[in-house]
Structure 1
Amino acid sequence: MSLPNVWHHRKVADSSAKGCDLCYKPSTSVLVTPDKQDHFYICAAHLKEVRFCQKEYDEKQRKKKEAEKGDDKESKDKDKAKDSAPEAEKKDDPKPKDQAGTEKPSQDEEPRVFELQRTFYQQRLTKKRQAEERKRQAEMSQRNRERLSNPSFFPAVPKDNI
């Protein structure tokens, strides 16, 4: 069983915040593998660090830039149409120009898929292996306790008097 080095960023409720794996501060950001084999809490600040992970959203960013270029062409066409419109219609514009640029970026602009750097990925693999080993040891010790508690497990004392 290999753990893929692809992690999806998810948010949890504030009441479910746990300590970041790196700095131990409470965090609501979680990185999860696509098949949900592993997860860990991480600060949003660490997700922006290049030494921690690589963002796999370059293609998404290129698409946005291409879309913006397309929007620029459309806005130029709209500007030409507005220039020909009467002044009275321009004054009735419900959205002032200074508020148009103050919209907050949506959640979609943040990267959602990450690839951990090699050292951090190796740490996750090691933790996963250790957790599996602890689980296996616990199961084995439980089986041994059950065997030892069964009196038929031990050999009987010979009853022949020779």
Structure 2
Amino acid sequence: MAAPFPNIYTHRKVADTASKACDICYKPSTSVLDFFYVCAIHLKDKGFCTPIVDEAAIAARKKREMDAEIQRVKEEFEEKQRKKKEKDNAKEKEKEKKDDSKDKDKKDGKDTEKQDDEKKKADTPATPDAEPRVFALQKAFYQQRLEKRRQIEIAKRNRERLQSPNLFPQVPKDLP
């Protein structure tokens, strides 16, 4: 007999106002595995569930990070080359100008370096959530979920039977 649902669950977070009791320890929880609430601590417990690692997604994320790093290094290099050229041009101009103008250029250069550093910090993307999102329950907990679902289906069938008029025998109509 095939299982009514696969042993693959996606972890999601809900708002604090929508939190419900954890199915394991009954504490309020905002973590949901598809259709049942569990605490975030249970997700880290190897006795409860194991993360399903998507190798393709991890490889794609690493490639994106590597490409972003390469792009950032290229931009830094181009910026340094541009500043070097500006410095060479400034040195030529400084030879022609007085010492006062030299002091102003150096101060301006330091300010632009500080601004560039601030821009780099702002441009760096926030690291995505490294926690796994897909889990498989351990055999005992999965069997418990299957049994709970069977009990719900049996209870539903019993309610339907009790409501049908053909469940109980009829009173005999003939005389003996």
Question: What is the match of residue 41 of structure 2?
Answer: 45
Q: Is residue 156 of structure 1 aligned with residue 158 of structure 2? A: no
Question: How far is 1:26 from its partner?
Answer: 0.6
> How do 1:1-162 residues align onto structure 2 when only pairs under 5 Å count?
2-32=4-34, 39-59=35-55, 60-86=57-83, 87=109, 89-93=112-116, 95=118, 105-107=127-129, 109-143=130-164, 146-147=165-166, 153-158=170-175
- After superposition, the CA RMSD in angstroms is 3.0
Deviation at 1:46, TM superposition (A): 1.5
**Matched-pair contact (CA < 8 Å) for 2:10–2:133:** yes
Q: CA deviation at 1:105?
A: 4.0
Query: 1:16 Cα shift?
Result: 2.5
Post-superposition CA distance 1:56-102 (Å, at most 9, x none): 2342223222222222222221221121233364333383666677x
Aligned residues between the structures: 147
Give per-residue Cα distances to partners, 1:13-68, cap 9 Å, x unaligned. 32222111111111122111xxxxxx211112222223322222342223222222
Instruction: Name the structure, 1 or 2, with higher relative contact order (CA <8 Å, separation 6+).
Output: 2
Match of 1:35 in 2: none
Matching residue's letter, 2:158? Q
Classify 1:142/1:69 alpha carbon distance in 2 versus 1 (closer, same or farther; 3 Å).
same
Name the % identity.
40
- CA–CA distance in structure 2, aligned partners of residues 73 and 3 of structure 1: 44
| Closer, same or farther: CA 99–49 of 1 in aligned 2, 3 Å | farther
Partner of 2:118: helix, strand, or coil?
coil
Higher share in helix = 2
Bigger Cα Rg: 2
